[in-house]
C-alpha cells in the first residue's frame, strides 16, 4: 500500500487550510482547532504548536481555566495534528534526520545551529538514546527490537489473505463533517482461516466480553476470566512475544516469563473507571475492542474487530486520511467510520497484523516510553506509537494501567 497523499503535500495542504488565526487573542484555552494556523489550547506547549502570543496572553491570566482533556478524548486530535500538520514540535521526531521542509528541527545538531523546536529540551534531551540512566532503553534499542518483532510475526496475513478497498482519501480538514464518502465496505475479502490460528481465536473470544459504553461496570464470568488467561498463554508461545520478553529480560525489566505475563495481565486487563461506575474500562477494551464515551467512539484500533463488526453491518467505513507505505502486511490505515451510530473521527490501525504483533508493540512502547511517543522501525520504515498511562488508580507497587495506545505517525 502507498500513502494516499505525500506527507510533504499534506503539510502544504495543512498550511493552506490553516487560515489566519495566528493569535491567541480571545482564544485562550479553547479546544484544539484544526483550521487554525497555531493553537491556544492547554496542550499546545506540549505539542509545540502554540501561537507566539500564547504565553503572554494565556499563561498568567487563565491558569485556572478548564481542565485538561482525558487521554481517550484527545486521540483524534493528537493523531491528526502529529501526522498531518506542519511539524512545529519534536513530538515523535527526536533525533530524526534534517529535513529542509520543517519549520524547526529535532536532530542532534539543532542546538548547535539554533533551530530546535521549542520542546526539544523537554522531549528529547532525557530519552531517545541520550538518557543518563543506566537502565534506560535507547531509541536504537527500541528500533532494533521492533524490527525483530516485525520479522518474527509469522502469523500475519499474506497479500492474498486480505483484499482491501480503501476508496476515498480525504484531507484532515474534512474529517469533522462526518460524511460517508465510501459506498463500499473497507474489507472486500478476508481469509477467515486466519481466525482459526490459536492467537487469533483466543483474541476474538475476548472481544464480546465488554460493554462498549463507559459508565457501566464490567463484570467478568469465570469463563471470561479464563479467556484472558488463554489469550496470554497463546501469545506467549509465539516468537513475537518471546522476542519481546527476551529483550525486556536483558534490560532487567522482568526476572521471569511468569512475572512478565502477570504484569501484562494487570496493565492490559486490570479494570479502572473512565465513567461514573467503578471498573468500567481497561486498556485492552479501549484499544482493541473500542468504547463509546460522550457520544463518540474512543479507542477501537484493531483491524480484526473492525472487519468482524463491518461484516455484521455494525461498522460503516467512511473514508481514510492515510494509507501506509508498506507493500505487505502489516500495514497502517488512518480512517473515519461509524460504529453502530457513533462516529470515529480519526482511528489508526494496523492492517493484517497478528494479535500478538500489535500486543507486543503497544506493550513495548508502554513499558519503554510510558505516556510518551515511542519511535519504532518496521521493515525499514519509521513508525511512532503514542501511549498514555492511567493516572487515577494503580496496581501492584504503584504501577500504572494502560489508558490507550495508538499509532501517531508512519512516515
Active site residues: 286, 301, 344
Residues 6+ away with beta carbon under 8 Å from 72:
274, 286, 291, 293, 298, 299, 388, 403, 404
**Pairwise CA distance, residues 411 & 394, whole Å:** 34
Q: Where are the beta strands (DSSP E) in 182-312?
A: 187-190, 291-293, 296-298
Collapsing DSSP to helix, strand or coil, 317 comes out as strand
Residues 37-76 as b or e (16 or more Cβ within 10 Å = b): bbbbbbbbbbbbbbbebbeebbeeeeeeeeeeebbbebbb
Residue with cell 519504532: 376
Cα–Cα distances in angstroms (integers) from residue 393 to residues 251, 336, 338, 396, 410, in the given order: 26, 31, 31, 11, 32
Q: Where are the beta strands (DSSP E) in 179-278?
A: 187-190
Residues 6+ away with beta carbon under 8 Å from 325:
1, 2, 3, 381, 410, 411
Alpha helix stretches (DSSP H) within 74-210: 75-84, 110-113, 120-124, 139-152, 198-207
List the beta bridge partners of residue 162.
190
Which helix or strand (DSSP H or E) is residue 323 part of?
strand 315-323
Q: Where are the beta strands (DSSP E) in 238-309?
A: 291-293, 296-298
Question: Do the Cβ atoms of 337 and 317 come closer than 8 Å?
Answer: yes
Question: Do the Cβ atoms of 345 and 338 come closer than 8 Å?
Answer: no
Amino acid at each position: 500500500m502507498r500513502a494516499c497523499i505525500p506527507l510533504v503535500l499534506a503539510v502544504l495542504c495543512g498550511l493552506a487550510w490553516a487560515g489566519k488565526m495566528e493569535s491567541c487573542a480571545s482564544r485562550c484555552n479553547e479546544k484544539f482547532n484544526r483550521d487554525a494556523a497555531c493553537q491556544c489550547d492547554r496542550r499546545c506547549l506540549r505539542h509545540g504548536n502554540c501561537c507566539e502570543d500564547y504565553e503572554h496572553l494565556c499563561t498568567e491570566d487563565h491558569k485556572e481555566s478548564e481542565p485538561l482533556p482525558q487521554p481517550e478524548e484527545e486521540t483524534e486530535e493528537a493523531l491528526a495534528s502529529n501526522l498531518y500538520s506542519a511539524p512545529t514540535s519534536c513530538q515523535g521526531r527526536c533525533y530524526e534526520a534534517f529535513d529542509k521542509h520543517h519549520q524547526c528541527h529535532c536532530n542532534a545538531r539543532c542546538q548547535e545551529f539554533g533551530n530546535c523546536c521549542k520542546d526539544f529540551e523537554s522531549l528529547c534531551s532525557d530519552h531517545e538514546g541520550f538518557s543518563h540512566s543506566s537502565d534506560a532503553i535507547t531509541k536504537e534499542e527500541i528500533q532494533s527490537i521492533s524490527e525483530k518483532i516485525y520479522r518474527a510475526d509469522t502469523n500475519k496475513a499474506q497479500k492474498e489473505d486480505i483484499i482491501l478497498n480503501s476508496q476515498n482519501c480525504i484531507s484532515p480538514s474534512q474529517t469533522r463533517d462526518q460524511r460517508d464518502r465510501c459506498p463500499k465496505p473497507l474489507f472486500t475479502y478476508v481469509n477467515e482461516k486466519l481466525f482459526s490460528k490459536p492467537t487469533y481465536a483466543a483474541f476474538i473470544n475476548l472481544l464480546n466480553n465488554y460493554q462498549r459504553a463507559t459508565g457501566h461496570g464490567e463484570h467478568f464470568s469465570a469463563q471470561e476470566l479464563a479467556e484472558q488467561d488463554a489469550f496470554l498463554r497463546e501469545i506467549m508461545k509465539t516468537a513475537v512475544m518471546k522476542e519481546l520478553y527476551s529483550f525486556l529480560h536483558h534490560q532487567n525489566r522482568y526476572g521471569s516469563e511468569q512475572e512478565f505475563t502477570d504484569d501484562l495481565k494487570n496493565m492490559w486487563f486490570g479494570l479502572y473507571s473512565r465513567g461514573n461506575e467503578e471498573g468500567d474500562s481497561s486498556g485492552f477494551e479501549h484499544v482493541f475492542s473500542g468504547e463509546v464515551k460522550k457520544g463518540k467512539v474512543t479507542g477501537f484500533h484493531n483491524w480484526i474487530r473492525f472487519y468482524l463488526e463491518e461484516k455484521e453491518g455494525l461498522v460503516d467505513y467512511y473514508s481514510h486520511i492515510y494509507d501506509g507505505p508498506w507493500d505487505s502486511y502489516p500495514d497502517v490505515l488512518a480512517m473515519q467510520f461509524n460504529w453502530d451510530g457513533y462516529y470515529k473521527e480519526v482511528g489508526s490501525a494496523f492492517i493484517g497484523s497478528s494479535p500478538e504483533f500489535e500486543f507486543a508493540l503497544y506493550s513495548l512502547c508502554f513499558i519503554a516510553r510510558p505516556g510518551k511517543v515511542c519511535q519504532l522501525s518496521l521493515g525499514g520504515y519509521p513508525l511512532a506509537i503514542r501511549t498514555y498511562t492511567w493516572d487515577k488508580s494503580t496496581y501492584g507497587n504503584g504501577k500504572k494501567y494502560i489508558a490507550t495506545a495508538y499509532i501517531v505517525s508512519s512516515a
